[in-house]
Amino acid sequence: MARKRLTREESRDQTYQRLLDAAAHVIAKKGFAAASVEDIVAQAGYTRGAFYSNFKSKADLFIALLSQDHQCVRQDLQKILDAPLSMADMQEQISQYYVQVYRDEKNFILWAEARLLALRDAKFRARLNAYCLEKRDDIAHIIEQFFKLRGTEPPAPPKDLAFGTMALVDGMRFFNESAPKELTDEAAQHTLGVIFNATFFK
Amino acid sequence: MARKRLTREESRDQTYQRLLDAAAHVIAKKGFAAASVEDIVAQAGYTRGAFYSNFKSKADLFIALLSQDHQCVRQDLQKILDAPLSMADMQEQISQYYVQVYRDEKNFILWAEARLLALRDAKFRARLNAYCLEKRDDIAHIIEQFFKLRGTEPPAPPKDLAFGTMALVDGMRFFNESAPKELTDEAAQHTLGVIFNATFFK
DNA sequence: GAACTCTAATACAGTGTTGTATCTGAGTAC
DNA sequence: GTACTCAGATACAACACTGTATTAGAGTTC
């Protein structure tokens, strides 16, 4: 099939996006530190020239990558936030959240890598922290709405509960990825359900 | 001061231990992948010869390191298990557990690195998984005792609850390390307390 | 104390990675 | 269609890391 003739801008955007996709793949596979610029551009089908003409550094690319994913996830959360919220929905949504947070294993690994990198790189940490807080506030807002709807007082500040929720889901996911089969997805979701129900429907 | 004249075995053990300590330091600081054998032996005050005469590979050393820490942690848990358990203790112990799991930030980072490595290295994963399950079973046993003492049915299998507990604590810790000041230790502990109380004292 | 045996140092060869400096060719403007 | 410009390829020089093969020297055995 005939390849469309691209304008300069289209071509550049395509390269940029392909580099991001390749980076996601390689970083998830080998880890951020072990993923060389060479690996990434090879996976994308370019040479190192393309990389340095698009990004300042590997960390720079990684932030672009995370930023993109973060926007997608927030859009999904926004949908939950915008939809009229009923009590039944809430319970359903929370238990579904476990499955939704990271759209797939790859993205989960990317964020785990990112958090580890953040422990060491202050600039990176600042960036990641901002994303993390945005997400927390989105969730806190949902929780707040829930308790308002229910007419009861939340047992802790909604923001803290949101933090707890994220932590629990992330932790669960982490254990489950690195120790597969020990805990079935059903068991994980059930346990999450127990904890959440206890906390939110006490 | 006069340095004691060491036997061959003492000397070897000393080297081994110093390499482990150095590795813990360097890996926590730079990450497993970025920590070169060279870095580790330099930190320990040796040359590469010492490394290859003690370990097969970097992963080999890392496992030895984790194994050592795991044993220490289990011993601490064992103390909780052995002590006569009262209801008041239980609540206290759970909230204290948050502080105890990882003896310090360094050890926490090491295990996070390990879990990430486990995602990619099957042999390593098997090893880590075994440790993880031992820990889970210790905790499950404590939880089981608790519900027996209380005379109520646990809301989910104790092993799953143990998994949930570990996941929550780990997740919380992870967020707190990479986003310091956002959530004070007090707030974290309070939130944990709320969730645990709701789940266990429902 | 002489011969022996390990632990750890040293030397070395090979490979992978980085960033820059320069070049090329396809898109663009006139 | 000619000159221009920018995305990306290529070439290069420096360096870091790995693992093995060999060596030195301190501990051991008799």
pLDDT tens-place string over residues B96-139: 666 666 667 899 999 999 999 999 999 999 999 999 999 999 98
Q: Which residue has the higher pLDDT, B114 or A183?
A: B114
Give the gap in angstroms from C-alpha B187 to the nearest C-alpha of chain A: 7
- Give the residue among B102, B104, B32 at the shortest CA–CA distance from B70: B102
C-alpha radius of gyration, chain A, whole number: 20
Cβ-Cβ contacts under 8 Å, A157 against chain B: 187
Nucleotide nearest to A40 (CA to C1'): C17
- The DSSP string of A51-109 is HHHH-SSHHHHHHHHHHHHHHHHHHHHHHHHHSPP-HHHHHHHHHHHHHHSSSSHHHHH
Q: Does pLDDT of A70 surpass 90?
A: yes
Cβ-Cβ contacts under 8 Å, A132 against chain B: 175, 178-179, 182
Q: Does pLDDT of A65 surpass 90?
A: yes
DSSP symbol at B104: S
pLDDT tens-place string over residues B155-171: 889 998 898 888 888 88
Sign of CA dihedral A111, A35, B33, A28: positive
Give the gap in angstroms from C-alpha A37 to the nearest C-alpha of chain B: 15
pLDDT tens-place string over residues A144-177: 888 888 899 998 899 989 988 888 888 888 888 8
Q: Which protein residue has its CA closest to C1' of C11?
A: B49
Mean pLDDT of chain A: 87
Within 7 Å: CB of A36 and strand D? no
Q: Does pLDDT of A12 surpass 60?
A: yes
Cβ-Cβ contacts under 8 Å, B169 against chain A: 171
Provide the pLDDT for residue A32: 98
Provide the pLDDT for residue B197: 81
- Give the residue among B120, B96, B62, B88 at the shortest CA–CA distance from B201: B88
Beta-carbon separation of A178 and B133 below 8 A: no
Q: Does pLDDT of B85 surpass 70?
A: no
Give 3-state DSSP helix, strand, coil % of chain A, rounded to 5. 80, 0, 20
Give the gap in angstroms from C-alpha B194 to the nearest C-alpha of chain A: 7
pTM of the predicted protein model: 0.90
Beta-carbon separation of B120 and A30 below 8 A: yes
A28-37, A92-101, B33-42: which range is least confident on average?
A92-101
pLDDT interval class at A1 (50, 70, 90): very low
Torsion angle in degrees (nearest 10) through CA of B72, B193, B88, B177: 20
